[in-house]
Amino acid sequence: MLELTINGETRRVEVEGDTPLLWVLRDTLGLTGTKYGCGIAQCGACTVLVDGTAMRSCVTPADSVVGTQVMTIEAVERDPVGAKVVEAWVEKQVAQCGYCQSGQVMAATALLKQTPKPTEDDIAAGMTNLCRCGTYNAIAAALRQASA
C-alpha cells in the first residue's frame, strides 16, 4: 500500500512499490491522459511533474514519489503556467494525432516554471520529447507564445 499525492489529492494504491508511476496513474487511478510510448525513457509521452520537475513516469517507481507532489495532464489547467501553455497549444494548433501532446504540454509547463523566459537553447534542452507527427516547429512556436 502506497500513499501518493496526485494532483493535490491523497490516493492510496495497492501496487508493488517498483511499479512504474505511469501504470499506477493509468491503470490503478484511471488517469489515462498520461501516455505510454516506449517504457524506457526515450519518447517522453509519459511526462508528469514531480515537485514541479518533468519526469518520465514510465521509469519512475511509484514508491520513489511518496511524499512528493505529482501533477498530471488532467490537472494542468489548474496550474497558472500550465493553463497558459494549454492556451498557446490550442492557439498554435499544435496537435496532430495528439498522442505525444500530453507529455509535450507537461514538459513545456515544467520548462516555463523553471525558466519563464527560455532562450532557444533552453527550449532545445527542455523539449526533447519525440513526436512522430513532426509537430516540433508548432511546439516551439507555442512555447515562445506561452513565454511571451
Partner 1 sequence: MDGMIHPGSDAILQAGPVELAIPETGIANLSRRGLLGSAAGALLLGVMLKGRPARAQGEGLAAAAPRPGTQVPAFLEIRQDGTVRLLSPFVEGGQGIATAMAQIVGEELDVDPARFVVDCAPPGADYLVVNGRRLTGGSYSVRSSYGTMRQLGATARNLMIRAAAARLNLPEAELETENGTVIHRRSNRSLTYAELVEAAWRLPPSEVAALRDPATFRWIGKPVPRIDVRDKSTGRAQYAIDLTVENMLHAAVQHAPRLGQEPASFGNEAAVRAMPGVHSIQRLPGAVAVLADSWWRARRAVETLEVTWNDGQHARALPADFSSAGMLAALRGERGAGSPAEENGDLRAAFAGAAKVIEAEYDAPYLAHAQLEPPSAIARFNEDGTLELWLPNQAPEMFQASAARMAGLEPGKVKIHSPMLGGFFGRHFLYDAAMPYPQAIALARAVGRPVKVLWTREEEFLRDAYRPIGFARFRGAVGADGMPVALHASAVGEGPIGRYFTPDRPVDSSMVEGIAGKPYSIAAKRVDCVKVKQPPVISFWRSVGHSMNDFFYESFLDELADAGGRDPFEMRLAMLSDKPRQATLLRAVAELSGGWKRGPFELDGVRRARGVAMASPFGSEVATIAEVSIGEGEIRVHDLWIAIDPGRAVNPAIIEAQVQSAAAIGLSSSLLEEVTYEGGAPQQRNFDTYSILPPARMPRIHVRIVESGAALGGVGEPGVPGVPPAVANAVAALTGQRIRSLPMSKVRLGA
Instruction: Note the residues at the interface with partner 1 (CB under 8 A).
Output: 15-16, 19-20, 23, 26-28, 30, 32-40, 42-43, 45, 72-74, 76-77, 86, 89-90, 93-102, 105, 124, 127-140
SS3 assignment, position 15: coil
Kindly tell me which of 3 and 120 has the beta carbon lying closer to partner 1.
120
- 70 touches ligand FES by CB under 6 A: no
> Which listed residue (8, 27, 41, 90) binds ligand FES by CB under 6 A?
41
Rounded (10°) CA dihedral 131, 80, 70, 109:
30
Find the helix or strand (DSSP H, E) in which 146 lies. helix 136-147
Who's near 67: CB < 8 A, 6+ residues apart?
A: 5
Considering only CA atoms, which of 131, 111, 129, 113 is closest in space to residue 121? 111
Who's near 42: CB < 8 A, 6+ residues apart?
A: 130
The least distance separating partner 1 from the CB of residue 54, rounded to whole angstroms, comes to 14
- Give dist(CA 41, CA 115) in Å, integer: 23
- 100 touches ligand FES by CB under 6 A: yes
Piece in contact with ligand FES (CB under 6 A), picked from 10-18, 40-48, 69-77, 109-117: 40-48
Write each residue from 111 to 140 as x if it is in contact with ligand FES (CB under 6 A), else as -, in one continuous string: --------------------xxx-x-----
Question: Could you identify the residue written with the cell 532562450?
Answer: 119
* Interface ranges with ligand FES (CB under 6 A): 36-39, 41-46, 56, 58, 95-101, 131-133, 135
